[in-house]
Structure 1
Amino acid sequence: MAELLDQSEVDALLAAVDTGQAPVAEAGPTSRIFSRRHAGNLGDIEIKPYDFKRPERVSKDQMRALENLHDGFARNFGAALSGFLRTIIEVKVANIEQMTFSEFTHSLPNPTCFNLLTAEPLDGNMCLEISPLIIYPVIDRLLGGSNADLFIPQRPLTAIELRLVQKIIDRAMSSLRDAWSNILPLTFKLVETESNPQLVQIVPPNEVVVVVGYEMKMGGRAGTMSLCIPYNVIEPVIEKLSNQTWAQYKRGRRDDQLRKRVADKLESAKLTLTAVLADTSIKLDDLIRLQVGDVITTENPHQLRCR
């Protein structure tokens, strides 16, 4: 360890600095910006702070595309649940953000309805979590209840409740398949349903995930739903997630809807139809003598003509 300076040495050093006689260290090499993407003028590059604890691996453009994609899922899922439960279910996207998997699991209640999904041909699992505040009213509705004075229990789902929840998840997976069909045809399967999210480790705790938060409303009841998509799951198709791709999809979907409306209008249009079953020639004398039961021989076989 270096020796400490005494007071006289400190005074001598301060005096040398004031008179400009103190030795000055040579200037080291200046910092430089290195970029593989910008080989030309580097002065125009915008430098942004980067938090290594909260890395953003999905661009803002891709996040907006994911939000638009799952907004369509929310509408379709709400419509499917409304028809299944015979009541109005409103589902809408509340937020979408990137975080680590540990942050996601620690933000969830315990117990909850935590469903592991596979999305073949993508590798890995996704998570669909439904809050007890809304899943129990949905179960009560399936069992014929009115949700008027429903008590929300703080316990894991029973075996019967899990069977009912599976019907809800089946409709969610169907809506997810439709929402992702333009990006990549996916086959969703329910792997497992857990009550404690802390026991599920589909990716390392520090792995980046995209979490889409939803609001669900049914009558006087409301709750949340979260879809957790690990980055390594969607990494093979991440380049397809852009506003340009989504705009092309919406434009194609509008064309399909227009084509369907035109087809519906044509099907309901009234047309005059004349059918010619067969042609033949008979003498006027034979025509006058025709009686019930007489047979007129025509060309056989004969094609049916319509005009």
Structure 2
Amino acid sequence: MSDVLTESEVESLLAALEPNGPAATAPVSRGDADANGVSLYDFKRPERVSKEQIRALRGLHEGFSREFGAGLSNLMRTIVEVKLVAVDQLTYGEFLFSLENPTCFNLLRAASLDGHMVLELSPAVVYPLVDRLLGGGRGSGAGDPPPDRPLTDIESRLVGRMTTLAIEALERTWESLTDLQLSLVQTESNPQLVQVVPPNEVVVLVAFELTLGEARGMMNLCIPFNTLEPVAARFSGDAWSTYGKRSSDPRERVVLDRGVSRARVPLDVTLAITTLTARDLADLAPGDVILTECDSREGLELRVGGKPAFRCRPGALRGHKAVRVTGPVLKPVDPRLVPLGEAKPTGEAVANASAGAGS
């Protein structure tokens, strides 16, 4: 329905059209200061999310769009494109008025954030996806309008499979920030019946476009700022992806262990080092003994990949020359690193420290 202008607004428009009428005043944009240094601020739409956080949210959900698109294509057995369209902040009331009625309105609860999120799927893409799951071709064409009715029970169950895929993809995307632990609380066809936050509350709207053949539709992820606020500080250009630690997969550890255990590394042992003259070397004969300056009680040095690793003693095993490992190589302690008033570590303490560092 078109807006109806009041009498004063009509008079203002007529006065602006007159050749000698008052010059139209250029509107002062929000945040721009006038000659007196006064800037306009709209309290109905406060900017609580910075541009840097908006950029971080965009980068985060670009990964979600790729992962959700791959999962949805696998479910539909055909190519479904999911493209991130925009990330913006607005009020919850504006978000509700922008939605169709009926629509697929899913209320999600994030346990770790103590708040709710909204995942809305447009009927323009929901019904083609349902048609595909029920054995149709590529769904209804672009010219076929979606049915003007709520989803049936069977259709709701099928859409629930898509919602589950989106929830799992969101949890994996957000795991670097927090463990969302999302759960589906409620599904409604009329968005006006669900009041998640007050209408003037700021929300972040992440809009996606879903394409199945010729059918296109929107999917909106609405995150109220009070839900996002506990982790809002982590959304920075270069730090948001560093939060959290991914737990190691036992299968990856087994594969890594097998790969490392089969790797070949060179080992070499130096028996002794001494200096001989050319005459002594020329006069050597079998049975001669060469004197060295190495202490036999210290043992030999076993190098792994050219680096000293263990102490060992020479010997023989089943007719082959062999060495027996007696312990790790003790690194010398720099006396400058020992604080004044503290005793220098003994050989046993250094050995324990070296063993702990190598474990």
**Aligned CA distance change for structure 1 residues 225 and 149 (closer, same or farther; 3 Å):** closer
Partner of 2:99: 108
Out of 164, 168, 174, the residue aligned to residue 180 of structure 1 is: 174
1:132 aligns with 2:126: no
Match of 2:136 in 1: 145
Tell me how far apart the structure 1 counterparts of residues 192 and 263 of structure 2 sit (CA, whole Å): 66
Structure 2 match to 1:92: 83
Q: Does 1:230 align with 2:224?
A: yes
| Counterpart code for 2:174 | W
User: Counterpart of 2:183?
Assistant: 189
Q: Does 1:200 align with 2:207?
A: no
- The alpha carbon displacement at 1:48 in A equals 5.4
| CA shift for structure 1 position 49 | 3.6
The CA deviation at 1:113 is: 0.5
1:123 & 1:148 partners in 2: Cα distance?
Answer: 38
2:234 maps to 240
Q: What is aligned with 2:62?
A: 71
Structure 2 CA distance for partners of 1:96 and 1:119, relative to 1, 3 Å: same
Q: Which amino acid aligns with 1:81?
A: L
**What is the match of residue 300 of structure 2?**
none
2:155: which partner in 1?
161
Paired residue type of 2:90: M
| Amino acid in the other structure paired with 2:133 | L
Pairs aligned (count) = 220
RMSD: 2.8
Deviations 1:149-185 (A, max 9, x none): 4652110000111111111000000000011101111
Q: In the TM superposition, what is the alpha-carbon distance from 1:146 to its structure 2 partner?
A: 1.0
**2:218 is the counterpart of 1:214:** no
2:108 to 117, 125, 147: 117
Partner SS, residue 224 of structure 1: strand
Task: Work out the CA distance in 1 between the residues paired with 2:167 and 2:85.
Answer: 19
Whichever residue aligns with residue 73 of structure 1, its letter is: F
Matching of residue 82 in structure 1 with residue 73 in structure 2? yes
3-state SS of paired residue (1:227): strand
Aligned to 1:33: none
* CA distances 1:205-229 after superposition (whole Å, capped 9, x unpaired): 1111000011111111111000000
Superposed CA offset, 1:14-35 (max 9, x none):
xxxxxxxxxxxxxxxxxxxxxx
TM-score, normalised with respect to structure 1: 0.66
Structure 2 counterpart SS, 1:92: strand
Q: CA offset at residue 67 of structure 1? A: 1.0
Give the C-alpha shift of residue 271 in structure 1: 7.4
Question: What amino acid sits opposite 2:113 in the alignment?
Answer: L
* TM-score, length-scaled by structure 2: 0.56
SS at match of 1:56: coil
Alpha-carbon separation, structure 1, partners of 2:41 and 2:109:
32
* Structure 1 segments of 4+ aligned residues over 3 angstroms from their partners: 46-49, 147-151, 246-249
When you count helix as a share of all residues, which structure comes out higher?
A: 1
**Would the aligned equivalents of 2:103 and 2:122 in 1 still touch at CA under 8 Å?**
yes
Give secondary structure in 1 for the equivalent of 2:187: strand
Q: Deviations over 1:40-66 (max 9, x none)?
A: xxxxxx985421121110111111111
Q: Distance in 1 between matches of 2:92 and 2:123?
A: 21
Q: Which has the higher contact order (CA 8 A, sep 6+)?
A: 1
One-letter amino acid matched to 1:209: V
Q: List alignment gaps of at least 5 residues for structure 2.
A: 1-36, 265-316, 320-359
* Distance change >3 Å, CA 271–CA 62, structure 1 → 2: closer
Q: Deviations over 1:37-95 (max 9, x none)?
A: xxxxxxxxx98542112111011111111111111111110011011111111111101
Per-residue CA distance 1:104-156 (angstroms, 9 max, x = gap): 00000100000000111111211000100101111111111114546521100
CA distance in structure 1 between the aligned counterparts of 2:131 and 2:140, rounded to whole angstroms: 11
